[in-house]
Homo-oligomer: A and B are copies of this chain.
């Protein structure tokens, strides 16, 4: 089966005021569970559809339970419609159970905006897309990561120790991400991008499922077409939880999104 476009797997079918049905795609999954960034991008799309501003600029999602692939209901409530920014509460439910609640601040990103000061992010990777190693849909632990047959996710050789059984211990994964069919990134798919990479903890120790408890994404600019560079970085593993940070640069090297997440992990 050919990969399905991000715009298709996040399509919203209106089903009443500020309410949509969605079809959580069975292939945008890790071990059968939908990717959390994919779902948060979908919630960002619902926020933009219901609110007066077209771009999510800050999205914070708390994950109550993982939805299954298949039909789900997304509803959005405008909390405040402002001049330059608006805030919405968005929920994803399945079988009448709340699975994810998110707060989304929306605004309009000016495509002509230029960075005023951009020295605060860590250095992006340097390896080319061609020199980086595409992740297969079977991970080193034998887990089926179906979403890797949808997107083209490549890890720089320097970060790929985990694939050779030799994690570097730095807790950093650098690489590239492209959407199916060369679809250009937009503010919705940038939310996905901040949760697209494997856990950066793979560069420390391989483990099973690392379920996201909370994901915050900031979308800072409209990206240029083409694949994005990503840095996924672990910060602290303690008490069976890890927090990670992520930075996303567009194909011109401009920082366009960043995010953090708190996740469960069977370490510590």
Contacts and interface: CB of A to CB of B under 8 A. Distances in A.
A213 to B, nearest CB: 6
B117 A268 contact: yes
Contact of A213 (B58, B116, B236): B58
A214 B58 contact: yes
A114 interface: yes
A171 interface: yes
Contacts of A35: none
A98 B81 CA distance: 12
A85 interface: yes
Interface stretch (A6-14, A24-32, A156-164, A237-245): A237-245
A215 to B, nearest CB: 9
Interface string A71-93: 00000000110100101010000
A218 B237 contact: no
A60 B103 CA distance: 8
Contact of A216 (B87, B171, B214): B214
22 contacts: A58-B62, A58-B214, A58-B262, A60-B62, A60-B103, A62-B87, A62-B103, A62-B104, A105-B214, A109-B239, A110-B239, A113-B268, A114-B268, A116-B237, A117-B204, A117-B236, A118-B237, A120-B171, A121-B236, A218-B243, A220-B236, A220-B239
